[in-house]
Amino acid sequence: MASVDLKAVLASLTLEEKASLLAGANFWETMPIPAKGVPAVKMSDGPNGARGAAFANGTTAACFPAACCVGSTFDVDLAKRIGSALAEETLTKGARCILAPTMCIHRHPLGGRNFESFSEDPFLTGKMAAQVVCGVQDRGVAATIKHFAVNEQETDRLTVDETVSERTLREIYLRPFEIAVKEAKPWAVMTAYNMINGHHADSNEFLLKKVLRGDWKWEGMVMSDWGGTNSTAAALNAGLDLEMPGPTRFRQVEVVVEAVKSGQVSEQTIDDRVIRILEFLERLGCFKDDVIPEEKAVNKPEHQALIREVGAKGIVMLKNENNILPLSKEKVKGKQLALLGHAKIGMAHGGGSASVNAHYRVTPWDALHEALGDNVKFSYAKGAHTFRMLPYLRENVVDLTGGNGFTYKLFEPGQAEPFYVKQGHEESFIDILSTFDVVEKEASLEGTFTATETDSYYFTCSGIGPSKLVINDELIYEQTENCKDPMGFIFGGAPAPQIKVPLKAGEQYKIFAHTSPPSKKDGEDDSILAGRIGLRIGYMSATEHDKDLVAEAVEVAKAADVAIVFVGHETFWETEGQDQVSFNLPKDGSQDRLISAVAAVNPNTIVVNSTGVAVAMPWLDQVQGLLQAWFPGQEVGNSIADVLTGRQNPEGHLPCTFPKRLEDCPAYGNFPGERDHNGQMRVTYKEGVFVGYRHFDRLPADTVNFPFGFGLSYTTFDFSDLSVKQGGDGDYAVTVKVVNTGSVAGATAVQIYVGNALPSSANPPKALAAFKKVFVQPGETSAVTLTVGSRDLATFDEATQKWITSGGDYEFMVARSAGDIVLRTSVSVGRKESEP
């Protein structure tokens, strides 16, 4: 079939029809014009799975390892395979565009969405993201690199104004996007929510016109983040092609037409925006086949195997005293293993839009039973309360008709009679993610709860807007103001005060909860959540709430030969919408106390930490083994068990520095910023280009627990014979030999860093310039050649607007990590200037 003449399609459209194409039709689809043959396309959230249309409890999907886990593999081939599988999953959800990969920088350990991104290093981030994009688009599905740009915090993410120098932007925060754009040519870019140097990302002419379209000569489609459009004319003129989602907030047909008629926007600009959208549709084959299929759950064995492999290869072994690991069948035969903490939870992913309704989740408890068989005795204790909000009130509740669940009612504001009633509402919450069509309404939940035990119970009630909880006609709690963090409410991270209520076994208690839409104050941001309602009731018996779980875990650990403590961040602790509450594991030190208490009674204590960020480790000297497991996807338990038992030799390397103290981090004191006299959150990136190891290289080595690039193995590697040769294109060929000096086969990431031999306070001592994962059999040697681009030696000069490599001697270094240089050689480099 011949390709579509897009210019002819464009010429056939009226101004009104063109305007209609500039925003989504609904939450996930673009606007079609059937009469003119213009189709729609469906998109789906990523980045670690194609979720489909529903935010919660929708069609099941494959849950892939989070980007922090993929980044720690230092393996571009695995990244490409992940991209290919993501494309296949996207198609099963009726979509042809996935909103992935996320590729912002880990600026600070408290960043709420760090887990969605690959690394603190722009080079590693860009190279890994580029291969994900290639894998996705090789299958005919559009990748969407996001969030462009400088989306490094969740606090006030819709409005925060970030002051960043151009050099810092170019070298750190834009560099990953530049690599992905130039090497993988993604078909779509998503703008960020935040402001950069006084201008929102969606209308930022420097980012969209000067850099993306100008310097990088990129020709794909630019879309907003969901609800991230902040203007009509300014965003259109800057280069934002598509506002998402629909219905539009800023691009109503009449508003766009008026902007053209009044001269705020030219019709040529409208044509430029529309042609990008039409080109996007054609690339995806939508003109040839405009059908949007129904969503399907397709659980492919090959995806299961890939997720297990990448999850295991991304796990980083940080400590292995006295070779306590691996726990092979032979080593633990007849022994007792205590599995503590989160052993029965599959910590597959972080919270927010990266969450998926996984096909399944393998827990470490189940995986270790499968791996080690019946000749090992297992014991378990939870050891710590980690809930952020009390569990939902679900059990022993009947609605007003006597059926299980609550009676759910919707009201017009101020009206006594509901316009909608649902009996048997299963949960004690009205979730905004399930009620996106409910705006500016009031709602209530009513039911009768029968207490099973005589006890005091803790209750909570919270809502997006003012809410209250009434039990037996007595007001228990009232939230009189709007929720301070509606995004946090959505993703389970907006705790409410706990009210203690005595109840008697067998007695019935009338439960009534009510919520109103959030009030809108002058100057308040009119976000995508404006007018949306949400309501949650939580409860827990005081006996369970106040139970000494640590003491129980200590007794279990005492009786075991080996104690494995599983800790980390559940989705409501590490999530989109909120930055981390603390550098310590949640909650209130409970998991830190658990580890210390267990280690005090069992000398063979191993910790498996599942977070997407570095955390404080006050117990580090007390434990024998430590794995950083990240969020490895639906095969989480199997991936962890594979490394613990030696089925997979650990080969992950940290994609971010693990500092000892938050105070030593480069952005400390400048994260998440301060409010000005108008309440505007502002943050200045005072650390400049000294992000991650670039900063820690200037501090004593003992300020970090583990440096960037660190990772242990069950074998050992040596490096020798470093040589560097410059090619005719100005790039450098770096050759080094890697020998496996241990007794088992394994893989390591060869890391090449380069720095000017003359130290300068303006420049980092070194930067990652090449890397390659190498697999070597025991006793064998592998000669590895890597390419260091001449551009990767350059810094950006704001005065001349050029990339400049200063002449002189540069050190090329082979390293096990940023903190362990094993070989170095000096190379004379000529001065070079190049355009952005």
Q: Which residues contact 471 (CB under 8 A, 6 or more apart)?
A: 459, 501, 509, 510, 511, 512
The H or E element spanning position 550 is helix 549-558
Q: Token pair of 395, please?
A: 């059990």
The upper half-sphere exposure of residue 302, i.e. CA atoms within 13 Å in the direction of its Cβ, equals 7
The β-bridge partners of 797 are: 802
Cα–Cα dist 313/773, whole Å: 11
**H or E element at residue 450:** strand 442-450
Residue with tokens 């190891």: 693
DSSP 667-734: TTTSSS-EE-TTS-EEEE-TTTT--THHHHTTS-GGGEEE-TT--B-SS-EEEEEEEEEE-TTS-EEE
Known active-site residue 455: no
d(CA 426, CA 419): 20
Q: Which among 155, 133, 146 is positioned nearest to 202, based on CA atoms?
A: 146
Question: DSSP string spanning 528-544?
Answer: TTTTB--EEEEEEEHHH
Catalytic entry in 45, 75, 121, 225: 225
For residue 412, the surrounding DSSP H or E stretch is: none
Residue 12 to residues 8, 267, 335, Cα–Cα distance (Å): 6, 14, 76
Nearest CA among 135, 24, 693, 635 for reference residue 366: 635
CB contact set of 799 (below 8 Å; sequence gap of 6+): none
Instruction: Estimate to the nearest angstrom the gap between the alpha carbon of 252 and the chain centroid.
Output: 32
- Are the C-beta atoms of residues 221 and 242 closer than 8 Å to each other? yes
Name the β-bridge partners of 509. 449
Helix (H) or strand (E) holding 337: strand 336-341
Q: Are 80 and 134 in contact (CB under 8 A)?
A: yes
Residue 619, both tokens: 């117990």
Burial group, residue 455, by CB count within 10 angstroms (0-12, 13-18, 19+): middle
Residues with catalytic roles: 225
